[in-house]
């Protein structure tokens, strides 16, 4: 994997290359970025770059983890130079296939054989295939990829012991041993086993933790890491990626990118389910909430409960998108451009609810998406959400009709 394979994130790429160039690298990095931002492929590419650096590239007596030396190391100063340099290195063929013996991976897994404690190594072949084909996938995609179905993935105490064992060994080919730990949020208190190793690692050992939610990481681990924030992707970068990588029609790519909220995975999901008529589903829901009552509400909840988590999240995201467009129209008026169908619906939403009510609904939709991600019962969740939305907007009722 090369820097060019990662969508956008030019500033982050440059920052990472400069950390290495100026010997400002911590022994433990935390790549913090929301789903679909590219945090994982960035971490992998950076690890591959580090693994190719020979000690001879550094000034005498220095390392990547020291203060800036008097004589600067002979290393690339930009992401483009780093990429060109990587392609010339003899070990590049191994890193591009994720088989470098000194780059280790840890990620949430399930038990593969009954009675055998699960560790990441059990799924290393699947992991290589997943990263190659779905570099912007999330944990749900990964667990479905390995057949977890409704099982919860974890990073266990046994995994922590295996990490300690791997990093205690001498490196094989590189000057550096590197561990990429994807989603440290799945570490329970067992993660405390890694504290000493993170704080006082063996020489030339690098931890790269890749996380989505800072608040769910053990504070003891968080405090020991150098933070690298990965922002949401620019809309333009997603649009260009959809056109060049996914062969999407430019107009569809532009519309999809505009509602993806900086999440490339979500953009791909939207295209995959483009045939879904979310607007009709939303109209039925609002009419059930505001007009037709409990029987229609129950029927609607039964319908959406059958869609599955991913499509339920897509629907909530679509509703959120329309509410955000309604707010923008309310502020910017006719100067704000939207496709005619969406604009008409957004205007209707402005008649139903004012700004404060719309913001309250957005908050409830975000909360619902959060709980869906964590396997909440869909019927209970959408029944509760229906009641909440009724109470938020009941004092201003305008029916949505075709």
Helix (H, G, I), strand (E, B) or coil at 55: helix
Q: Quick one: tokens of 225? A: 């890491």
pLDDT at position 239, please? 93
DSSP 323: H
Q: Tens digit of pLDDT for each residue in 271-321?
A: 876 656 788 899 999 999 988 889 999 999 999 999 878 788 878 988 887
For position 97, what pLDDT does the model report? Answer: 80
With beta carbons less than 8 A apart as the criterion, state whether 203 and 44 touch.
Answer: no
Stronger pLDDT, 318 or 162, i.e. the higher one: 162
pTM, 2 dp: 0.75
> In which band, very low, low, confident or very high, does the pLDDT at 93 lie, cut at 50, 70 and 90?
confident
Q: What pLDDT, in 10s, does the model give residues 105-159?
A: 999 999 888 888 889 999 999 999 999 999 999 988 898 899 887 788 889 899 9
CA-derived radius of gyration, the chain: 24
Return the pLDDT at 385. 94
Mean pLDDT to the nearest integer, 370-393: 90
Q: From 186, 234, 189, select the one nearest 211 (Cα to Cα).
A: 186
189-204: pLDDT as tens digits: 888 888 988 888 888 8
Other C-beta atoms closer than 10 Å to the C-beta of 277 total 8
**pLDDT value at residue 59:** 45
Calculate the average pLDDT of the chain.
85
Percent of the chain with pLDDT over 90: 39
Q: Give the Cα separation of 395 and 36 in Å (integer).
A: 38
What pLDDT does residue 47 have? 94
DSSP result, 161-213: HHHHHHHHSPPSSSS-EEEEEE-GGGB-GGGGGGHHHHHSPPTTEEEEEEES-
Range with lowest mean pLDDT among 76-80, 120-124, 206-210: 76-80
Predicted pLDDT at 310: 76
d(CA 315, CA 77): 44
Share of the chain above pLDDT 70, in %: 90
The three-state secondary structure class of 29 is strand
Band (pLDDT 50/70/90 cuts) for residue 60 is very low
What is the rounded average pLDDT of the residues 383-396? 86
């Amino acid at each position: 994997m090369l820097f060019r394979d990662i969508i956008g994130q030019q500033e982050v790429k440059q920052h990472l290359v400069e950390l290495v160039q100026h010997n400002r690298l911590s022994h433990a990095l935390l790549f913090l970025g929301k789903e679909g931002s590219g945090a994982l492929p960035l971490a992998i590419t950076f690890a591959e770059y580090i693994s190719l650096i020979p000690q001879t590239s550094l000034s005498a007596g220095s390392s990547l983890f020291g203060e800036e030396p008097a004589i600067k190391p002979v290393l690339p100063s930009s992401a483009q130079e780093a990429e060109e340099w990587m392609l010339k290195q003899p070990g590049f063929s191994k890193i591009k296939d994720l088989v470098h013996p000194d780059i280790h991976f840890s990620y949430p897994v399930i038990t593969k054989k009954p009675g055998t404690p699960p560790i990441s190594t059990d799924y290393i072949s699947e992991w290589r295939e997943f990263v190659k084909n779905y570099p912007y996938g999330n944990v749900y995609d990964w667990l479905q990829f390995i057949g977890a179905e409704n099982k919860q993935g974890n990073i266990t105490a046994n995994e922590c012991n295996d990490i300690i064992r791997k990093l205690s060994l001498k490196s094989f080919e590189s000057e550096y041993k590197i561990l990429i730990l994807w989603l440290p949020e799945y570490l329970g208190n067992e993660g405390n086993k890694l504290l000493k190793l993170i704080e006082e690692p063996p020489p030339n050992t690098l931890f790269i933790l890749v996380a989505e939610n800072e608040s769910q990481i053990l504070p003891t681990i968080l405090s020991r890491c150098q933070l690298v924030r990965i922002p949401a992707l620019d809309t333009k970068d997603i649009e260009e990626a959809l056109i060049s990588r996914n062969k999407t029609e430019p107009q569809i790519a532009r519309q999809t990118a505009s509602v993806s909220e900086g999440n490339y995975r979500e953009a791909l999901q939207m295209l995959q389910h483009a045939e879904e008529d979310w607007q009709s589903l939303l109209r039925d829901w609002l009419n059930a909430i505001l007009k037709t009552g409990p029987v229609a509400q129950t029927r609607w909840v039964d319908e959406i409960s059958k869609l599955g988590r991913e499509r339920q999240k897509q629907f909530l995201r679509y509703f959120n998108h329309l509410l955000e467009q309604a707010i923008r129209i309310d502020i910017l008026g006719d100067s704000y451009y939207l496709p005619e169908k969406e604009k008409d619906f957004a205007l209707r939403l402005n008649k139903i609810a004012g700004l404060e009510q719309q913001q309250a609904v957005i908050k409830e939709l975000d909360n619902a998406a959060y709980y869906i991600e964590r396997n909440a019962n869909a019927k209970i969740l959408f029944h509760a959400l229906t009641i909440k939305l009724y109470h938020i907007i009941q004092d201003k009722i305008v029916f949505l009709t075709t």
